[in-house]
């Protein structure tokens, strides 16, 4: 037993299989579910084994399956049956595996979450009758056993699979994915303004190479609560800007520029934006304005900034009259997307990022869902980099990056920002898919593909029933991009395209479909 397997333990319904499968994809290891192995070895279901042979016999079968899986020299992610800790010999087997380098992680969920999750499956022999009291009893009995066999406990309530995976990976940080690729480098080809984006776990290590050798000092623009970057080899001055859209103003830029002046920042120096899209937009615009243009490096700490805001040089601030009305195209000298920071993000923030990732599924035919998170983010960066290289100033193709955004912005406005940007864009893509179908551009299967992608990211896809569709259409008419009637990016046989002068009656029909029961 020499392999550093990762073994997931915990009660039924905590997500061991879905987390295990996604974790295996990240580690590039095989995934084995002990229950599935037992069922295929025995040629019958766990429920049948329980019913015919009884629990003690099942536990013996389980122990020998676990022993042979752990004996493999191929590092593997292993999801165990919930009762594996009931048998002393299985606990001993797990302890021996830990001594040989395996890590055991206890996935924990509260009773209501497990009741909810287990109600979707009938193949739970121990859960007949009152699920809540059975689970409570099992947790009482097994809780201390799970603790005794595991290296770490991870709470899973309300967390996405991707987030739990990231937390498990942080816990087992001494176990490395197979052939770690190191950060990927994606080049944004813009001639003399070309730059690199470093993407992956630990990509922050690439930051010092992105600092221009002639820069003598740097101002770091960030926000309270954003992870800090390692110390750099030049004098720095840290400035925190405020949180939320109200901080994205000309007043903030003025304040930043005055701090640049007091720190003695010259045109040859550097601004480093560390944070999400708000920070990179504001820091980028301050850099674009300072001495008519000072270099900027972005360190994206949110998923949304990694796959979108920090790449491509769009910078700007809001006015009371509208969002992003004042700005400049100002390409950074480099961008860092360190995916280790994804684990620090609140769940909703991460979900919003997935909303932006979802649009990349429809920009290309790539099946991003089969990729690990790091590969997928690097692929999104690659897609965006290629589009920006072809159309830096949004004269054409770059507008495709706004897929779902016409509907999405209207949803944000009409709901008074009850939906965050990424959530609204996700629903916006569903509306756009229905609109494309109504206009005869795509078929029902393509609309269904949109729902599948959103479901995979745990994103809401149904337009809320309480929204006033006429108000949504008038909000779209006020969109600053609506220069030729209502304009949408729509799917079609040739992929995404910009479609102008769409009739409001078709938009209303799309909204009705998007609000309908699936
Ligand atoms: N966020 C869309 C773009 O950068 O063009």
What does the chain come to in residues? 518
Q: Which atom of ligand 1 is nearest to the CA of 388?
A: 5
Q: Which helix (H) or strand (E) holds 25?
A: helix 16-27
185 CA → ligand 1 middle, Å: 20
Do residues 457 and 488 touch, judged by C-beta distance below 8 A? Answer: no
Please name every residue paired with 106 in a beta bridge, in sequence order, or none if there are none: 9, 153
What is the C-alpha R_g of the chain?
Answer: 26
Do residues 357 and 367 touch, judged by C-beta distance below 8 A? Answer: no
Do residues 47 and 55 touch, judged by C-beta distance below 8 A? Answer: no
Q: Which atom of ligand 1 is nearest to the CA of 402?
A: 2
CA distance 444 to 434: 9
List Cβ neighbours of 367 (8 Å cut-off, separation of 6 or more): none
312 CA → ligand 1 middle, Å: 7
**Rounded to the nearest 5°, which phi and psi values hold at 107?**
-95, 125
335 CA → ligand 1 middle, Å: 15
* Residue whose CB lies within 8 A of the most ligand 1 atoms, among 391, 395, 401, for a mutation test: 401
Do residues 392 and 373 touch, judged by C-beta distance below 8 A? Answer: no
CA distance 113 to 118: 9
Question: Tens of pLDDT along the chain (518 residues)?
Answer: 457 899 999 998 898 999 999 998 888 888 889 998 888 778 888 888 888 888 888 888 988 888 888 887 788 899 999 999 988 888 988 888 888 888 999 999 999 888 888 776 555 555 666 888 888 988 998 998 999 899 889 999 988 888 899 888 888 765 555 545 578 999 999 999 999 999 998 899 999 999 999 999 999 999 999 989 988 989 999 999 999 889 999 999 999 999 999 999 999 999 999 999 999 999 999 999 999 999 999 999 999 999 999 999 999 999 988 889 999 999 999 999 999 899 889 889 999 999 999 999 999 878 898 888 999 999 999 999 999 999 999 999 999 999 999 999 999 999 988 999 999 999 999 999 999 999 999 999 999 999 999 999 999 999 999 999 999 999 998 765 556 689 999 999 999 999 999 999 999 999 999 998 76
* Residue whose CB lies within 8 A of the most ligand 1 atoms, among 276, 280, 305, 308, for a mutation test: 308
The residue whose two tokens read 């589009």 is 387
96 CA → ligand 1 middle, Å: 52
400 CA → ligand 1 middle, Å: 9
172 CA → ligand 1 middle, Å: 36
Q: Which helix (H) or strand (E) holds 298?
A: strand 295-300
Q: Which atom of ligand 1 is nearest to the CA of 394?
A: 5
How crowded is residue 94: how many other Cβ atoms within 10 Å of its Cβ?
22
Residues having CB closer than 6 A to ligand 1 are 308, 312, 314, 398, 401
CA distance 491 to 429: 10
The residue whose two tokens read 């229905």 is 434
Return the residue whose CA atom lies nearest to atom 3 of ligand 1.
Answer: 401
Helix (H, G, I), strand (E, B) or coil at 335: strand
Return the residue whose CA atom lies nearest to atom 2 of ligand 1.
Answer: 401
């Amino acid at each position: 037993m020499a392999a550093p397997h990762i073994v997931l333990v915990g009660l039924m319904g905590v997500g061991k299989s879905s987390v295990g499968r996604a974790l295996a994809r990240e580690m590039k290891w095989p995934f084995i579910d002990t229950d599935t192995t037992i069922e295929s070895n025995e040629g019958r279901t766990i429920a049948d084994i329980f019913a015919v042979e009884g629990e003690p016999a099942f536990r013996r079968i389980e122990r020998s399956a676990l022993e042979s899986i752990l004996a493999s020299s191929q590092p593997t992610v292993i999801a165990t049956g919930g009762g594996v800790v009931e048998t002393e010999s299985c606990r001993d087997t797990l302890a021996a595996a830990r001594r040989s380098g395996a890590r055991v992680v206890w996935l924990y969920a509260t009773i209501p979450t497990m009741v909810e999750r287990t109600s979707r499956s009938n193949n739970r022999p121990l859960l007949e009758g009152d699920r809540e009291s059975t689970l409570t009893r099992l947790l009482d009995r097994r809780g201390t056993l799970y603790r005794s066999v595991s290296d770490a406990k991870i709470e899973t309530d309300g967390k996405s699979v991707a987030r739990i995976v990231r937390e498990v990976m942080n816990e087992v940080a001494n176990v490395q994915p197979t052939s770690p690729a190191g950060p990927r480098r994606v080049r944004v080809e813009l001639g003399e303004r070309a730059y690199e984006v470093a993407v992956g776990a630990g990509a922050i290590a690439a930051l010092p190479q992105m600092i221009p050798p002639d820069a003598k000092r740097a101002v770091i623009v960030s926000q309270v609560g954003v992870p800090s970057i390692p110390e750099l080899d030049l004098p720095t001055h840290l400035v925190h800007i405020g949180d939320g859209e109200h901080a994205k103003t000309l007043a903030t830029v003025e304040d930043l520029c005055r701090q640049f002046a007091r720190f003695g920042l010259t045109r040859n120096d550097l601004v480093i934006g560390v944070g999400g899209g708000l920070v990179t937009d504001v820091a980028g615009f301050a850099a674009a304005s300072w001495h008519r243009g000072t270099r900027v490096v972005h360190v994206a700490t949110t998923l949304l900034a990694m796959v979108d805001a920090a790449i491509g040089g769009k910078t700007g601030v809001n006015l009371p009259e509208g969002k992003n009305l004042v700005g400049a195209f100002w390409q950074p000298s480099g961008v860092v997307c360190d995916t280790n920071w994804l684990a620090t993000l609140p769940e909703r923030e991460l979900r919003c990022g997935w909303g932006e990732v979802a649009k990349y599924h429809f920009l290309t035919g790539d099946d991003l869902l089969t990729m690990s998170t790091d590969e997928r983010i690097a692929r999104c960066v690659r897609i965006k980099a290629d589009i920006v290289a072809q159309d830096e100033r949004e004269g054409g193709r770059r507008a495709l990056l706004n897929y779902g955004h016409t509907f999405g912005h209207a949803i944000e406005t009409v709901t008074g920002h009850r939906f965050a940007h990424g959530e609204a864009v996700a629903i916006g893509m569903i509306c756009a898919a229905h609109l494309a179908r109504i206009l005869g551009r795509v078929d029902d299967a393509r609309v269904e593909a949109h729902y599948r992608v959103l479901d995979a990211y745990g994103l809401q896809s149904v337009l809320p029933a309480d929204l006033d569709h006429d108000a949504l259409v008038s909000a779209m008419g006020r969109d600053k991009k609506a220069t030729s009637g209502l304009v949408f990016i729509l799917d079609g046989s040739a992929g995404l395209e910009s479609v102008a002068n769409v009739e409001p009656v078709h938009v209303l029909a799309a909204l009705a479909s998007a609000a309908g029961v699936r």
